[in-house]
A and B are shown apart, each in its own frame.
Chain A
Amino acid sequence: MSTPYAKLPRWADYGLIPLINLLVAFAVAGLVVLLVGENPFRAAVILVDGAFGSGPGIAYTLFYATSFIFTGLAVAVAFHGGLFNIGGEGQAYFAGLGVALACLPFDGFLPWYLIFLLAILCSAVFGALWALIPAYLQAKRGSHIVITTIMFNFIASSLMVYMLVDVLKPTGSMAPQTRQFLEGAQLPRLGFLFDYIGMKVRPSVPLNISFLLALFMAFLVWVLIWRTKLGYEIRTMGFSPKAARYAGISETRIIIVTMLISGALAGMMAMNPIMGDQHNVPLDFVAGAGFVGIAVALMGRSHPAGIVPAAILFGMLYQGGAELSFEMPSISRDMIVIIQGLVILFAGALEHMFRPAVQAMFASVSPKSVGVVAAKGEGA
């Protein structure tokens, strides 16, 4: 059996091709900017400057990136198991209830680190719960996980509106959100770290300790996927369900466990905006981060070492995009959604588009690097 695509050197496979895909995605995004009637190069300069040009800019970039690391990891874990979890958005939204459960009863008397631990647990459990039903339905009833997780996003959104408007809203308040958290449920901010590198960051910049948690989770996901038996089973399942079944791996168990982990990771995202920034549970706090996770996971090739930079890139787009919409009012934050779609298209669905060209290039420069045999049968 011939593999459809021939081998390339590792650095080209993991570095060059994703980079080309990304550049093309941004080039097409630039075309949209042109259609809107603005200069794409000026837009790019404003964007990068807004994201990395100042201490607060960097801190905001990392704040947004925190959410995307969680959701990116969530999507990536599911990808490894051959599952496509589009429900990160709903899982994170529902996990907001878990965070409220951890914070509201205890924020008056427990110290922040205890509440933080409790919130990690609760948000993970709630996120996992929201992924459990689609996982069970996929494993036992064969209903397609992509459709059920999408439905669960809509259901979560209605449920949270109901909870926030009719249940959690304090009496006498107009805004559909919980009461303001007390000190105990406010996560420490990391702005002070920037003092050491000589940048001033206002204490109001919401970069907080959950950023470190996100990095730690990235490490744990790496351990899980590449260094444990469960991770091996998940990957086997994703690579070839048939082989997994043949090896005696329970499909039901792997589907459910993978989705629980995925949902838990997505759920933890809720802490970042809620406990790190808003200090209450507002409507729609996820704000698309669950969907950004799909692009982040595809761009990072489902590896934590790729997901963290990809998340920071999208953090940059969010932060820089906010600056950009001041300068160019016609380019709102929704531009990110287009870029997200383009990244998913070029880094995901069209990931092999430039392969034959890159390969031909390699073959002509140094035939050895691609392997002469492999270079031949390639015609797509």
Chain B
Amino acid sequence: MDFLDVVVNVLNSTVRLSVPLLLACLAGLYSERAGIFDIGLEGKMLAGAFAGAAAASVFGSAWIGLLIAILVAVFLALVHGFASITHRGNQIVSGVAINFIAAGSTIILGQAWFNQGGRTPSLPSDARFNAIVLPGADAVRDVPILGEIYSGLLSGHSLLVYLAFLAVPFTWWVLFRTRFGLRLRAVGENPAAVDTAGISVAWLRYRAVICTGILTGMAGSYMALAQNAGFVKDMTAGRGYIALAALIFAKWKPVPAMFACLLFGFLDAMAIRLQGTPLPVIGRVPVQLMQALPYILTVILLAGFIGKAIPPRAGGVPYVKER
């Protein structure tokens, strides 16, 4: 395997690994820009992954799986909204609660319904989102460099991967070029002003959390229906939190969010690739260190290099009209 092959290979898995992060990160972007902190991305992804896998295995269709995953994630997002918008509860507490509810119920229901120790049955290929070969990918495979990049890196991903990367410019457009986006950002900075303008703060924030639900549902479906062939318990393994870190790292902006997620995906890909291979100078690195690396780097990135990350000003503060 020559050098280019290795590079394309690592970048390819970078893309695959960063997609769930990217979808979750954009999900968090909508909600946090509207002033609702959401630590429950993890739980919504997990619940989405389970619901998607369960529905896909029962109905034999990836699309029904995706739909159910989105519905379940939106439901949980609405619970979060109900607690933190309508009842002015603590948003972090509510998010943590949703993570636990998702972690516990996916295992209990999975075991009760499928009897495979919390897994869902392994999905056949027509109940998954399969790789799409871009036109001409096979033909140009032998073209040096460009052909390799086109067929090895850009082609051969599932539909959700392309959707995730399309969601980046789309999110940018929604947030910065539409009336809804302007209001959404305003409600995260100064809800009283939005209220004075005669726009419902609660309804805007509810719409924001619904967007969050849709995207986390997609993130979960990607993990269960494209990356893997079914649900395994705790399969999100903290990706919701890493997405949140990426969001902070990206200072709540869509395009930087994509690069942040690609960076975390790249670290993950390197960690997998380097497992067991001795490195120059350092020697063999313990597997556990490699596994902990994304989390360690998250801490380091959050601590050091992001400059000052200024969150939306009204983030985490429930809006009380009477004030």
Which A residues are within 8 Å of any B CB, using their own CB? 1-2, 4, 32, 35-37, 84, 86, 133, 137, 141-144, 146-148, 150-152, 154-155, 158-159, 161-162, 165-166, 291, 294, 298, 330-332, 334-342, 344-345, 348-353, 377, 380
Shortest beta-carbon distance, A329 to chain B, in Å? 9
Give CA–CA (A362, B220) in the complex, Å.
45
- Contact, CB under 8 Å: A154 / B79: no
Give CA–CA (A351, B304) in the complex, Å.
37
**When A141-B303, A166-B286 are in contact, do A336 and B97 touch as well, CB less than 8 Å?**
no
Q: Could you list 10 examples of A-B contacts with CB < 8 Å?
A: A4-B320, A32-B109, A36-B108, A137-B303, A146-B92, A152-B295, A158-B288, A340-B104, A345-B83, A349-B91
Give CA–CA (A331, B111) in the complex, Å.
9
Residue of B90, B111, B238, B302 near A332 (CB, 8 A) is: B111
- Contact, CB under 8 Å: B238 / A150: yes
Residue of B82, B101, B303 near A338 (CB, 8 A) is: B101
Give CA–CA (A349, B98) in the complex, Å.
10
Interface residues on B, range: 35 or more
Shortest beta-carbon distance, A357 to chain B, in Å? 12
- Contact, CB under 8 Å: A344 / B100: yes
Residue of A152, A158, A331 near B299 (CB, 8 A) is: A152
**When A148-B299, A353-B87 are in contact, do A340 and B108 touch as well, CB less than 8 Å?**
no
Among B136-144, B186-194, B241-249, the stretch that binds chain A is: B241-249
- Contact, CB under 8 Å: A142 / B289: no
Give CA–CA (A353, B82) in the complex, Å.
10
- Contact, CB under 8 Å: A352 / B107: no
Contacts of A151 in B (CB 8 A): 241, 245, 295-296, 298-299
- Contact, CB under 8 Å: A344 / B93: yes
B141-163 near A? 1/0 per residue, CB < 8 Å: 00000000000000000000000
A contacts with B: majority SS: helix
- Contact, CB under 8 Å: A345 / B292: no
Residues B92-117 near A (CB distance < 8 A)? 92-94, 96-105, 107-109, 111-112
Give CA–CA (A150, B289) in the complex, Å.
17
Give CA–CA (A336, B100) in the complex, Å.
9
Beta-carbon nearest neighbor of A352 in chain B: B87
Residues B264-313 near A (CB distance < 8 A)? 286, 288-289, 291-292, 295-296, 298-299, 302-304, 308-309
Give CA–CA (A380, B202) in the complex, Å.
13
Beta-carbon nearest neighbor of B294 in chain A: A154
Contacts of B322 in A (CB 8 A): 2, 4, 377
